[in-house]
Structure 1
Amino acid sequence: MKHIFKLSEELLEKLSSVMAAALLIVGMNACQPSTEVKEQPPLTGEALIKRGEYLINAGACGDCHSPKIMTETGPIPDPDRLLSGHPKDEILPPIVNTSDWILFSTGVTSFVGPWGQSFAANLTPHATGIGNWTFEHFKTAIRKGKYKGLEGSRNLVPPMPWQFYSHISDDDLYALFAYLKSIKPVDNQVPAYISPENLSLNTVQNAE
């Protein structure tokens, strides 16, 4: 009987040790930071627009798409014409040579290179901008690089880096679109793109 009782005590000691170790492991795991990623609810309203504004500024979209005003620290986007594209009434100087350089207008809204001459688009919600666009138009323009977001239209030309922007998530694309639809509409019909062939003809005529 004593032998059995002694054996039971030894067994209890071992069981206690095992349980203590198990509790220690459970406690340590409980203290570890959770690696579970909690899904965030989609942004809406003002938060969505603020997210879009942040992305526009982070992507420096206004550097090309906004006319500039000169300040003591240099040119900055004109807040009254924010994201309205190349000004329709801006007279550009003659283009003398296009073969060896990529040219930028002083307002950084018109560009000349091997692709021809391009003009920064009006991104405001005016009819001359993206006022009539749906989100699907915007998505097609950014994801597929299609002019006016229309399937079958010409490709967007440099310096628009749509190939890089095409990887933006749907949520961020929607935030961008929401912000652009919320800003001041500006009536500005941007000049039409000029192909390399037509640009070469104009260059020759100007040189003469």
Structure 2
Amino acid sequence: MRTIVFVITLLCPGFTAIIISCNARGAAELTHPAITKDSLIKRGAYLVAVMGCDDCHSPKRMGDHGPEVIPERRLSGYQQDLPLATVNGDEIKKGWVLFSPDLTAAAGPWGVSFAANLTSDLTGIGSWTAAQFKKALREGKFKGLDNTRPLLPPMPWPNFAQLTDTDLEAVYTFLQSTKPVKNIVPAPRQWAATK
């Protein structure tokens, strides 16, 4: 009996060390590698592409296969020097939402909204903090500031509010890395002003 107790006493620390070692290795395998600025930019570029940010925020020209993003104006929003076509209020009353030919302006029951400049220029989001960016996408606040108007349709911020903090940080970091494009996007217009 003493021999069995002696053997168990000798083996317990060894088993304990093996169990601790296995758990530590398993935990290390589950942790993520350190997030670098480059990896955030890469992830942000991917998210901006798959979330369709170019669909509304990038001016386009017609190409052989339909609208194509103008690379030098990518993510700069509705162009400040582009006149807005007359909005047919009768079509809006019938329930239609209308888009400008390059898809950077939309008219609907709310009025006319213009896609924002998302580039790193000061006329875009270049002066925004990460907290402002997060508030804009999580709470639908204009410029990510309290006591401002809501973001207008067709901006799908309620969908983007579901992004993780890391994904929001990645999108913000990518947008801050973009080529700055100076472009002051017009203020939205109330419906009465568009008739």
TM-score range, shorter chain: 0.7 to 0.9
Matches within 5 A, 1:84-163: 84-97=76-89, 98-100=92-94, 101-163=96-158
1:39 aligned residue: 31
| Moved beyond 6 Å, runs of 4+ | 34-37
2:43 aligned residue: 51
Render the CA deviation track for 1:14-36: whole Å, top value 9, x for unaligned: xxxxxxxxxxxxxxxxxxxx899
Distance 1:136 1:45 in 2: 17
Given that 1:85 and 1:123 are in contact with CA atoms closer than 8 Å, whether structure 2 keeps it comes out as yes
AA paired with 1:38? L
Structure 1, unaligned runs of 5 or more:
1-33, 204-208
What is the CA-CA distance between 1:202 and the residue it aligns to?
Answer: 3.5
AA paired with 1:55? L
1:81 aligned residue: 73
Task: Say which is worse superposed, 136-145 or 93-102, in terms of deviation.
Answer: 93-102
Structure 2, unaligned runs of 5 or more:
1-25
Given that 1:42 and 1:171 are in contact with CA atoms closer than 8 Å, whether structure 2 keeps it comes out as no
How large is the Cα RMSD of the aligned pairs?
A: 1.8
What is the CA-CA distance between 1:37 and the residue it aligns to?
Answer: 6.9
With normalisation by structure 1, the TM-score equals: 0.77
Render the CA deviation track for 1:84-129: whole Å, top value 9, x for unaligned: 0001111122112221211101010000111111000000011110
With normalisation by structure 2, the TM-score equals: 0.81
Distance 2:118 2:193 in 1: 30
Distance 1:155 1:42 in 2: 35
SS of the residue aligned with 1:159?
coil
What is the CA-CA distance between 1:42 and the residue it aligns to?
Answer: 4.1
Distance 1:36 1:127 in 2: 42
Distance 1:159 1:89 in 2: 22
Task: Say which is worse superposed, 34-43 or 100-109, in terms of deviation.
Answer: 34-43
- Work out which of the two has the higher radius of gyration on C-alpha atoms and give 1 or 2: 1
AA paired with 2:45? E
1:70 aligned residue: 62
**Identity over aligned pairs, percent:** 46
